[in-house]
Structures are given as C-alpha cells and as structure tokens.
Amino acid sequence: MKKIGLALICFFGLLAMNAQTKEELKAEQATKKDSISAIQARVDALQGQIDNFPGWKLGIFGTVGGSVSALNNWYAQETPNNASAKIGITANPFAKLDREKYFWYNQAQLNVGWIKFDDKDDPSDDDSFRQTTDVFNVTSLFGYNLTKTIAVSTLMEYRTTILSNFNDPGYLDLGVGATWKPISDLVVVVHPLNYNFVFSKDDTIFDSSFGTKILATYAKKIGGLDIKSVFSTFQSYKSSDLSNWTWTNNFGYKVWKNIGLGFEFGLRDNKQEALNYAINTLGDTGATFDTVNNELQTYWLFGLTYDF
C-alpha cells in the first residue's frame, strides 16, 4: 500500500513539474514574441525612412497570364479537335524624384497579348498566334511646389499601340496647370491649358484640339498587396467627339518572395477610335460621329506577377 501511495505521489509530482515547465516555456515564448514585434517595428520604421528619403525611386511590377488547352473528339462543340493558347503580359515601370521645391514623376504602362486557335479538322485555318491586347502609355509630370499639397506643373502623356499600327493613331498631350497631392499615395493633375496632338493617316476622323487634361494616379502598398489605379481624360474645347478617357487598375498580391498573383483591368471611351473601327475595319463607310455605336472598351488579365 505504501508503494502504491509513493508511486502516486511521484506520478502527480511529475505532472506538476511538467505543467510548471510548460507554463515557463509559454512565458518565455511570449517574451520572445514581444521582442520580435519590437524588432519588426524598428525595421518597419527604418523602411519608412528609406521610402521617404529624397531621391530617385525606381521600380517595376507586372503580370504574366496564360493558358493552353487541347480537345480531341469533344463532340459537344462545333470544333471537337482543336488546340488553343493565350498569352498576356503587362509591365509598369516608374521613376520618381521628390525634392523640397519640386518633383518629377515618370511612369509607363505596357499591356500586350496574343491568342491562338487551331482547328485540327481544318488545314486551311490560321493556327498562328494573333495579337489581341495592345496598350502602350508613358507619362512625365514635372511640378514646382507652392505648398505641401499644391504645385504648378507641366505634363506630357503619350498613348498608342506598338504591335500593330504604331502611332496610327497616337495621342500626345502637352499642357500646364496645377497638381494636387492631398496624400502621399494620390496625385491629381488638372491642366486647363492642354493641346491634344493626334497622329493618324486618316485625318478625316482623327483631329487635334485644345482642351483640359486630367490625370489621377493612386498607388498603395498594403502588406503584400500592391494597388495602382490611373485615370486619364482629355476634354476637348472643340467638340465632345474628340474627348476621351482611360481608366486602368492593377492589383498584385505577393505569395512567395517576389512572386504573386496579379489582376489588371482597363476601361476606355474614345469616339474617334470607334468611328475609325466602323469605317476601316467593319467597312461601314456611311458611319459618322452621330451614328457610330461607341461602346465602352474593356480588357482584363489575371496571372502571375513579379515585383522587382
């Protein structure tokens, strides 16, 4: 009986020692977690000072999306034997300079895509890659600060396609006005003195004119999420038919190191492009600015990203 009692005492004693050791380990772990949090806070503070340090800031991020498929004897559709592929690439480089009295912001956007569809039962079909998306845009903004949030500025923006019909049409905006920077992530440009040069072989559709240029750029990094939104519009003083706007949005979420998932979509309204498409592509020679079907232009891309 005494042996059993002694064994029980030893058993419960070991349990008590184990519980005490576990609690001590938890306490030590909590202390180390607090230390890690304090170190990370100091690292984040230093990174913030680096990000806000005056001087050139260079960077680029982009998205690569693609898909491939092949069907054999898939009789549920019109072409049961086919192979298809789609590739899309975007790149968004930037170079920014901030000084006490002035700033100079430069950025570019490239979005290109190709698609391929091969009907195995039709030897005469076009099985090569064909261009689908084609967007190229570059802007350069220089401003002289009047206050912390307001500056007088000049802007150059150029937009065209590069895979086909380069500079046909091409749009070049040059103007002066004011820039508003209410927060570090948002830049709003309003230039009431702006000339929109339009380059094209067909000068009966495309026309240059004076107008107001508005450009708003929002860029934010939240943890592993990168957000960039750009809205650009030209409002012509000559005719609303010569006005246009484009809005692009980029989202990238870092998954592993510099690799992540990206999503991009864009919207555009341009009546000159709609009329050019109706006449020169669809063959509607009787189309005019008053009769053309000017539908909203859209594109989107989802795929892998790499943040340099």
pLDDT per position as a tens digit, 281-300: 889 888 999 999 899 999 88
Lowest pLDDT segment from 67-76, 133-142, 172-181 = 67-76
Query: Is the pLDDT higher at 270 or at 54?
Result: 270
pLDDT 10s digits, 243-255: 999 999 989 888 8
Closest CA to 139 of 169, 117, 106: 106
Is there a contact between 193 and 178 (Cβ–Cβ < 8 Å)?
no
Asked if the model's pLDDT at residue 61 lies above 80, the reply is: no
Lookup: tokens for 165: 């019909």
Residues in CB range of 124: below 8 A, 6 or more apart:
none
CA distance 121 to 253: 41
Give residue 226's pLDDT band: very low, low, confident or very high (50, 70, 90). confident
Rounded to 10 degrees, the C-alpha dihedral 267/246/96/174 comes to 170
Is there a contact between 206 and 198 (Cβ–Cβ < 8 Å)?
yes
CA distance 293 to 283: 14
Give residue 174's pLDDT band: very low, low, confident or very high (50, 70, 90). very high
Is there a contact between 36 and 28 (Cβ–Cβ < 8 Å)?
no
Is there a contact between 81 and 91 (Cβ–Cβ < 8 Å)?
no
Record the pTM.
0.74
Map residue 30 onto helix, strand or coil: helix
Mean of pLDDT values over 50-66:
74
Is there a contact between 153 and 143 (Cβ–Cβ < 8 Å)?
yes
Closest CA to 142 of 172, 193, 178, 92: 178
Calculate the average pLDDT of the chain. Answer: 84
Closest CA to 62 of 135, 134, 111, 131: 111
User: What is the reported pLDDT for 163?
Assistant: 82
Q: List residues bridging with 141 in a β-sheet.
A: 105, 155
Mean of pLDDT values over 222-246:
92
Mean of pLDDT values over 2-14:
57
Lookup: tokens for 166: 């380069």
Closest CA to 272 of 111, 132, 159: 159
Lookup: tokens for 37: 């949090």
Asked if the model's pLDDT at residue 103 lies above 60, the reply is: yes
Give percent above pLDDT 70 in the chain. Answer: 82
